[in-house]
Amino acid sequence: MRPLLFLLLLLNWAAAFGQEKNVLVLPGKLPAAELDIGPYTAFYKDISGDTLPLETIGRQRFSPFNQKPNERTHPSPYTVLVTWLKFTLRNTHPTDTLTLLHYTGRHGLISLYDNPRLMGQTGISLPPQRRPSRFALFLSVPPGAQRTYFVRVVDYAISPTPVWSKLLTVPASIDAEFGPQALGQKLLLVTMSILTGCLFFMCLYALYSVVLTDDRSFLYYGLYTGLCLLFALNCIDSGFGLGLLFPRRMVEGWSPVSINLIGFFYSLFIAEILAIKSDFPPTWLVLRILLGFVAILAVLNVVEWQSARFFFNDYSLYDHVQTIPNLLITGLLIVTLFRSRSPIRYYLISGLLGLAGIGFVYAFLDLYVEDGSPVVNAFINYPYFWIVLCFSIEAFFFLLALAYRGRLIELENSRIQQRYAQDLEAQLAQRTREIEQKSRLLEQQHIRQLETEFEQKLVDTEMTALRAQMNPHFIFNCLNSIKLYTLDNEADKASDYLTKFSRLIRLVLENSRSELVSLQNELEALQLYIELEAMRFKQKVQFSIQVAPNIDQRYLRIPPLLLQPYVENAIWHGLMHKPEGGTVTVEVSQPQESWLHIEITDDGVGRQRAAELKSKSAGKHKSFGMQVTADRIRMINQLYNIQTQTQIVDLVDSFGEACGTKVILQIPV
């Protein structure tokens, strides 16, 4: 009741002693009180963008304060709101100086002029000064003097607050600073500090995750929460007069920049975490265009903020330019979220709807109260609290989305590991079966290889045995011949025979140690053998060895002692039954590169006549030498996987009588 009674007293005093209608007369020192001097205040709206000096303002026509439109219900079309107040005070006390504080509310910049002198400045854009009230300026009226004061109030149209005109005594301002209203401000400060701390820890978590995972989703989320953190710190620093971080910044100046950047990075965050670029290419194209426009707006906001030059004086146009792109981006993201099948879309939708819902309620329903409790007024009437609250809620839901995505990735990795383990087990089982199968195959192949090697060694042993059987056969025949020459006292012939015999023995021994010998060695041994046989039978045996000129005898290789049994058979079975003897002809040709063609021809009695005579020596030779040669050819074919072909042709003359035998050999080379 005390302030109300004092207010009535002052009004009565002013009515009794005031000489001018708009002059407030006061009697020197006053007790603690708060006086609304709206009836004694005039106002003027400066639409020039805060470019007119005080001298020019003083010549303008001021209107009664009660005609001033409410800034909340009548938004200005201009970007910067400049309101000038004018009031006159008279001090009637003869000795006391009237000392008061003028209070207009919380505004960006407040300047008090005692025409033409600037008496002081305060506001959100300036660091706090040591005075009883943050947004009140001292004025003083000497005893018996009258002063006219001008007050300039500057705000951005983005968040206007009502302009008041009140006088406070120093005790009253202290009550305002530390009373119920101050309690509401302190609770608001604590609440915003808690929200700012939450943003700090969310930003710290995101940046640490970027270092660990190099995930762009965490990078965009960290930039988004970091900008929200800077916005909240600026609001606290400037709004509550801390003057710690941004002593020369206006919260309204930083707000458009940070809000555009915040919208830019949270859009990139949602686009990255939902893979809009790959899953919704048309949406990504539109989103890129809108984000480019928002980035341009952010750059323009920075230029406006630093240069104090505004590109849009029409606030309605400015508001549309700033708001429409962000609304389109938010709507586009919400539609995309509903179209998406991602499990984390519900968290993102909750965050966007929380931001849009609270912002809509506060911005469009104009929740501004004047008659509530100081605590309610402090929270509801401070727009940046709601913005920080929206950012905190949205960042929290986005953090839940990241956490749930991490859980989904963990589950997916677990499923992948399980599938990978199952695939490994299946592959291991399959590989085990394949290895077992291959082991069995290798074992079978090894067994077959061993069998083949054994068979080859067996064949080789048999061939060696056969060659070993043929060597004593030759030696026996030759020794008989030497014996005959010795008995007949033919020493020269015996010596010549022994020389050829020794050469033949040397060739036979050398050739018998090899699987294959050159055609030259084989024919040389064959010639020595025929010469020895011709000497034994008193030159009844004639021979001829003919080799085609295109054959390289040193290059071609054949099995050793392959031709001798056939020549021996021709001599003993064909020629020895003819009194006059006969001729053995050996012809070697190579009709094809891979075949060697050998013909052994004799003009003896023929096989049929020889069988009829049943020569004793012939029988022995036939049963031994020819059989051995046939076995050797069979083993050679088996060992080298070739087809050596043998053909025996009985020759007849024009009368149909037997006139010899021809043996044809086809040897692969």
Residue 367 pLDDT: 59
Supply 82's token pair: 């400049």
Side chain identity at residue 36, one-letter code: D
Residue 17 pLDDT: 42
Residue 176 pLDDT: 47
Supply 129's token pair: 């000064």
Reported in sequence order, the residue ranges of 9-105 that DSSP labels E, i.e. its strands, are 23-26, 34-36, 41-46, 63-64, 80-91, 98-103
Does the pTM of the predicted model rise above 0.85? no
For the stretch 239-277, pLDDT in tens is 666 656 554 444 445 566 677 788 889 889 999 888 888
Query: Quick check: 583 and 624 in contact, CB under 8 A?
Result: no
pLDDT: which is higher, 197 or 116: 197
Query: Quick check: 215 and 100 in contact, CB under 8 A?
Result: no
For the stretch 301-345, pLDDT in tens is 777 666 656 565 555 556 666 778 878 888 888 888 888 888 888
- Residue 449 CA to residue 461 CA, distance in Å, equals 18
HSE-CB for 534 with a 13 A CA cutoff: 17
Q: For residue 121, how far is the Cα from the chain centroid?
A: 58
Query: Quick check: 119 and 54 in contact, CB under 8 A?
Result: no
Q: What spatial distance separates the first Cα and last Cα of the chain, rounded to whole Å?
A: 137
HSE-CB for 17 with a 13 A CA cutoff: 16
pLDDT-derived band at 508 (thresholds 50, 70, 90) equals confident
Q: For residue 406, how far is the Cα from the chain centroid?
A: 18
- Burial status of residue 623 (CB atoms within 10 A of its CB: 0-12, 13-18, 19 or more): exposed
Ranges 57-61, 243-247, 479-483, 654-658: which has the least confidence: 243-247
Res. 608: pLDDT tops 90: no
Res. 655: pLDDT tops 60: yes
- Residue 419 CA to residue 424 CA, distance in Å, equals 8
The arithmetic mean of pLDDT across residues 174-183, rounded, is: 51
Which string of b and e fits 426-449 if b means at least 16 CB within 10 Å? Answer: eeeeeeeeeeeeeeeeeeeeeeee
**Could you count the other beta carbons within 10 Å of the beta carbon of residue 370?**
8
Q: Give alpha helix (H) positions in 240-382.
A: 251-274, 276-279, 281-307, 315-339, 345-364, 374-380
The arithmetic mean of pLDDT across residues 130-150, rounded, is: 81
The size of the chain, in residues, is: 669
Supply the angle between the helices 251-274 and 281-307 in degrees, to the nearest 10: 160
Main-chain phi, psi angles of 317, to 5 degrees: -65, -45
- Residue 306 CA to residue 301 CA, distance in Å, equals 9
Residue 532 pLDDT: 81
Q: What percent of the chain has pLDDT over 90?
A: 11
Cβ contacts of 397 within 8 Å, gap of 6 or more = 347, 348, 350, 351, 354
HSE-CB for 531 with a 13 A CA cutoff: 17
pLDDT-derived band at 619 (thresholds 50, 70, 90) equals very low
**Could you count the other beta carbons within 10 Å of the beta carbon of residue 80?**
21
